Structure 1
Amino acid sequence: MFGNVPREVPQKIALVLVPRFSFLPFTGLIESFRLANRLSGQELYNRVLVSSDGGPVTASNGITLDVAGDLSLAEACGTVVICGGLDVHLHQDKSLQAWLRKVDRRGADVGAICTGSYILARAGLLEGFRCTIHWENLAGFCEEFPDIEVTTELFEIDRNRFTCSGGTAVIDMMLNVIARQHGYELAASVADQFMHERIRDHHDRQRISLPARLGVRHPKLLSVISLMEQNLEEPLTRSELAREADLSTRQLERLFRKYLNRSPARYYLELRLNKARLLLLQTNMSVIDVALACGFVSASHFSKCYRDFFGRTPRKERGLPLQADEDQSRVAE
């Protein structure tokens, strides 16, 4: 199982870079290996960078990295990590998927960081396993893979599968692995080098808390916003929200006006539209399916609300030509 005490050192780990991979989690992984090796005084982790075709890969920040070679160089590695990033829902590398299935059959630990979970899912390697993904990609992933058990944890280690939500959570995952494999003292020393003052457990939340995000600490207002975030596909009415928070509808309106300078209905609409934007950018769902997933009853109403808020239609968001339903909503304005 990934994270168990290794049978031999150094552990051979292949990092598979895919186009537009996220640089921060990739760097967190590389630096965790480097510091563990330096502070232990021995080579505990030996990593190799590869790509599907052996060519250089450009990260989402525009930096291009050379790799050691193609996937054949990773055949001898006991651990394979897919390094995901932006637009991974467009990544359809059948040869990589087939190769991943082959190394899995060989008994390798197979995992992913950031949005690499998409690639593992498409290869059929997450069926029957828990996984996680960056919070921004969670809705799109659940829509595309409804039968896969996905969580909001920082990272998940389930037998010989491991997934990580990305960002600095990669450091926490590796610190937990280093502690399991080589002792807490070494993991703490690596954390000190990172100036990472606390090793987070996988149950720690991905996002900062709601009060910190909003700059608001009113408990009833926060409970209503939490309810809204949990009910985007089938929005609750204003009366239902007020009743759940033990407020009158007038009190609810006043709270939103005072702390957020908008009505509850407006705030709720913005939540749904922001979710819709993520689905449009991260999935191949049709506009009507995105509309329904975000609580809109028609594509035309959704398109009008979307254009009013973002200044462009849902199809323009994807760089697609205008369609009839949007033409109709424009005429009706």
Structure 2
Amino acid sequence: MTDSLPLVPQGAAFFPVETPGETRKYAFLLVPGFTLLAFSSAVEPLRIANQLSQQPLYQWRLLSEGGAAVASSSGISVCTDGPLAALPRDTRLFVCSGNPAAAAAAEPVVALVRAHARFGGTVGGICTGAVALAKAGLLDRASFTLHWENQPAFCEDFPELTPTPAMFEIAAKVMTCGGGAASTDMMISLIAQDHGAEFAAMVSEMCLRKVMVGVDAAQRSALSVLIRSRNPGLIAMVARMKAHLEDPVPLAEIVTASGYSRRHVERMFLSVLGETPGDFYRGLRLDHARNLLSTTEMTLIEVAVACGFSTVAHFSRSFRARFGVAPTKFNRTLSAPAPQPR
């Protein structure tokens, strides 16, 4: 496989880079169902950097397992430059994945990632691409992340690994992001390392992103925003519920720890969340169960236990009441899901 010439498009805006150094190389490995938004959000900052500087700062190639076009989660296929093959050590190799996340765990994909890392190359995961890195045994000592939707299933498959809630994580030889717009944030951060903050800020503005997001930014909104309340007591109670989905804490214990009366807690939940504390807590556990049924191969009893239900019968009744379908039928309908873009 030969390299194509770096793309340097024309544009009206210009920002000179006085000492560009050698062209930095990227390879994006597309797996079936990869998220088009996440992939394009990673490539476009590199294109913009070349366009702004009018220099070949970056070069990229696309790979797929068989060298053919790959269908994204939106059904749009993207042509690649060739099949999987050994890459120069100075190439940053990113696995671009989506739903199903298991596509990133295909053995040829994992083998290439493992080999590239073994010979000193930098590897990365976009969206659920971290699954390939985990299978390759490359995340044991690195901070990493993947899309929040897929983190519960990931933790079930790799219980010894803990992803962070960050938009992206950059280490010396391992880089990951949650996908979506986080791909842009990660690339802008890398461009800042390569060519300075001022140039990266201009790339960010060309992406119509006025603020460069830092590595500590979480993927999801603050809990206070999600539940439309700034009441610290309510936020603390909900946070405790979310931290104990598998081993539910008795409501009496949560109420006592809050310092409020039972009646006051119930009024807070009803006025802000529209549900009693018990119904809200059960809903959190059932939403977690729905996620696990959608994204893992766990059995019904395993999902029930992972969500704090003592019996499958109780879990099934509760699930049907919330979602209008039995968990067995729900799981069957998602055994070959139509991937959803993000």
Fold equivalence (TM over 0.5): yes
Contact 1:52 1:70 in 2 (8 A): yes
Say how many residue pairs are matched. 316
1:60 aligns with 2:73: yes
Q: What letter corresponds to residue 215 of structure 1 in structure 2?
A: R
1:137 aligns with 2:150: yes
**1:154 Cα deviation from its structure 2 partner:** 1.3
Q: Deviations over 1:158-180 (max 9, x none)?
A: 22011111111111111111111
Contact 2:224 2:230 in 1 (8 A): yes
- Structure-1 residue corresponding to 2:99: 86
Q: What letter corresponds to residue 48 of structure 2 in structure 1?
A: L
Distance 1:129 1:148 in 2: 10
Could you tell which deviates more after superposition, 125-134 or 288-297? 125-134
Q: What letter corresponds to residue 303 of structure 1 in structure 2?
A: S
- Structure-2 residue corresponding to 1:264: 277
- Structure-2 residue corresponding to 1:13: 26
Q: Secondary structure at the match of 1:240?
A: helix
TM-score (norm 2): 0.88
Q: Deviations over 1:263-283 (max 9, x none)?
A: 110011111111111111111
Distance 1:285 1:8 in 2: 50
Q: Secondary structure at the match of 2:144?
A: strand
Percent of paired sites with the same residue: 37
Give unpaired runs (5+ residues) of structure 1. 1-5, 322-333
Contact 1:50 1:74 in 2 (8 A): no
When residues 35 and 7 of structure 1 are mapped into structure 2, their CA distance, relative to the original with a 3 A threshold, is closer
Distance 2:112 2:21 in 1: 24
Q: What letter corresponds to residue 243 of structure 1 in structure 2?
A: T
Residue 248 of structure 1 is aligned with which of 261, 264, 270?
261
Residue 276 of structure 1 is aligned with which of 285, 289, 293?
289
1:69 aligns with 2:79: no
Calculate the aligned-residue CA RMSD, in Å: 1.9
**1:214 Cα deviation from its structure 2 partner:** 2.4
User: What does 1:205-224 correspond to in 2, within 5 Å?
Assistant: 205-224=218-237
User: What does 1:24-63 correspond to in 2, within 5 Å?
Assistant: 24-63=37-76
- Structure-2 residue corresponding to 1:101: 114
- Structure-1 residue corresponding to 2:164: 151
Distance 1:47 1:308 in 2: 50
Contact 2:104 2:110 in 1 (8 A): no
Q: What letter corresponds to residue 50 of structure 1 in structure 2?
A: L
Q: Secondary structure at the match of 1:319?
A: helix
Q: Secondary structure at the match of 2:93?
A: strand
1:313 aligns with 2:326: yes
Q: Secondary structure at the match of 1:112?
A: strand
- Structure-2 residue corresponding to 1:125: 138
When residues 91 and 72 of structure 1 are mapped into structure 2, their CA distance, relative to the original with a 3 A threshold, is closer
Q: What letter corresponds to residue 282 of structure 1 in structure 2?
A: T
Q: Deviations over 1:299-320 (max 9, x none)?
A: 1211111111111222212217
**1:66 Cα deviation from its structure 2 partner:** 1.0
When residues 278 and 123 of structure 1 are mapped into structure 2, their CA distance, relative to the original with a 3 A threshold, is same
When residues 229 and 251 of structure 1 are mapped into structure 2, their CA distance, relative to the original with a 3 A threshold, is same
Q: Secondary structure at the match of 1:187?
A: helix
Could you tell which deviates more after superposition, 41-50 or 124-133? 124-133
Distance 2:43 2:86 in 1: 18
Distance 1:319 1:82 in 2: 28
Give unpaired runs (5+ residues) of structure 2. 1-18, 335-342
Contact 1:156 1:202 in 2 (8 A): yes
- Structure-1 residue corresponding to 2:12: none
1:170 aligns with 2:189: no
User: What does 1:159-198 correspond to in 2, within 5 Å?
Assistant: 159-198=172-211
Q: Secondary structure at the match of 2:159?
A: coil
- Structure-2 residue corresponding to 1:331: none
**1:191 Cα deviation from its structure 2 partner:** 0.8
Q: What letter corresponds to residue 40 of structure 1 in structure 2?
A: S
- Runs of 4+ with deviation above 3 angstroms: 73-77
